[in-house]
Amino acid sequence: VDPLDVERVRADFPILERDIDGQPLVYLDNAATSQTPERVIDAISEYYRSYNANVHRGIHQLSQESSIAYEDAHDRIAEFIGADGREEIAFTLNTTQAMNTVAYAWGLNELGPGDEVVLTEMEHHASLVTWQQIAKRTGADCKYIPITDDGYLDMEAAAELITDDTQMVSVVHVSNTLGTINPVAELADIAHDHDAYIYVDGAQSVPHKPIDVKAMDCDFFAFSGHKMCGPTGTGAMYGKRHILEEMQPYLYGGEMILKVDFDEASWNELPWKFEAGTQNIAGGIALAEACDYLDDIGLERIQRHEQQLTEYAYDRLTEHEDVEVYGPPGDDRAGLVAFNIAGAHAHDLSSILNDFAVAVRAGDHCTQPLHDVLGASASARASFYLYNTREEVDMLVEAVDEARQLFA
Ligand code: PMP
């Protein structure tokens, strides 16, 4: 694979031209939200300029055009993650709503006292809090696979925690705090050996590497559009077709029904039974455009580019003893580094970085229980994407050095 031409890529993103108080923007908050290429912005604007109309129900020309584009977008997203087709892809607002759909539509109906949901210590609140609540309502229990000192899942513990009482294994594919890439296919095998399902949170994997849900053999999979060059308010829930067919809907209303009378209602075919009410039509179509954009550049190329940046950032940040980087070694992690410097709160650190126009996130990154395990209340996190450069990593490191001297 040829290396990624980062200058060419940067030209696709209008926002990268702006400055922050006269300094060029160094955007390293991609794990929170990625920037949007012109093509995707154009797809949104083209929709509203030329064929804005509600889908499914219209016979008029505009509705037919929007319906075809919206339905095709489902096929495009299915293809992007290796699903069988639109029947297996329900559009959602984001990963969180996809997770809640699985939890409410499947969990609330299927779980009961004595049942267990096995999660990991590195789950995002989107999964952790949701299963916690569903467990409380159904009488089921949540168990957590611990992490090792270097931020991997303890797979021996996993093999013991997943038992015949387990109904669901819920695991983050790539940790948004540690950068750990979890062995989801292996966990799927263990789950299936015990007749349990596995839900994979793909929020931090889909944007950055090729995904094949069939090879992974997960039962459910979720991700967000806004982290993969798509619009906010877009995302998807993948489910194996036979499971989705059996599953109750989560939201009720227009579009998701087949036949209604005063006593009963029956459900529309997949995936529409999971898309109640008017959807983010423009967003879904633009998300398909984002998939085209990423595929045109090539996810393997993007992945390799990020790996190089990450390894470099990791090596430079860990040169100093007063910088603590969490998670696996630099050559075995996804494109992000969460860290602290001695004597400073992560918020103060990131505020200093902001003075250098370096945008990073500070906080618990929606992984408070994991931060408890790490013994830190918060951390600063730099996260990379296809348009970031080695020079930007240098800017980060220089700004961190300034902060280190200030707080020393
Ligand atoms: N899971 C992970 C691993 C994430 O990083 C995020 C976003 N921070 C989410 C879930 C939730 O994504 P969203 O806010 O788009 O629902």
CA distances to 273, 274, 277 from 134, in Å: 22, 19, 24
pLDDT of residue 1: 79
Domain housing 395: 6-30+298-407
Rounded CA separation 96/119 (Å) = 16
244 with 125, same domain?
A: yes
Query: Can the peptide bond before residue 271 be classed as cis, meaning omega within 30 degrees of 0?
Result: yes
| CB hemisphere CA count around 346 (13 angstroms) | 20
The verdict on the CB of residue 205 being under 6 Å from ligand 1 is no
Q: What percent of the chain has pLDDT over 70?
A: 100
309 with 340, same domain?
A: yes
257 torsion bin: left (phi>0), alpha (psi -120 to 50), beta (else): beta
Mean pLDDT, residues 131-139 taken together: 98
Q: Where is the domain boundary, 295, 326, 354? A: 295
Instruction: Count Cβ atoms below 10 Å from residue 42 Cβ, excluding itself.
Output: 13
155 with 243, same domain?
A: yes
Examine residue 35 and state whether it is found in any structural domain, yes or no.
no
Ligand 1: centre distance to CA 97 (Å): 10
Ligand 1: centre distance to CA 378 (Å): 17
pLDDT in tens, 189-208: 999 999 999 999 999 999 99
- Residues 150 and 325: beta-carbon distance below 8 Å: no
Ligand 1: centre distance to CA 123 (Å): 10
Q: Where is the domain boundary, 295, 315, 350? A: 295
pLDDT in tens, 271-319: 999 999 999 999 999 999 999 999 999 999 999 999 999 999 999 999 9
What is the pLDDT confidence band of residue 57, given thresholds at 50, 70 and 90?
confident
The verdict on the CB of residue 94 being under 6 Å from ligand 1 is yes
Tokens of 343: 């004597």
pLDDT of residue 62: 96
Q: Where is the domain boundary, 260, 279, 295? A: 295
Q: Whose CA is nearest to atom 15 of ligand 1?
A: 94
Domains identified in the chain, total number: 2
The verdict on the CB of residue 92 being under 6 Å from ligand 1 is no
Examine residue 216 and state whether it is found in any structural domain, yes or no.
yes
Examine residue 36 and state whether it is found in any structural domain, yes or no.
no
pLDDT of residue 408: 81
Whether 218 sits among the annotated catalytic residues: the reply is: no
278 with 165, same domain?
A: yes
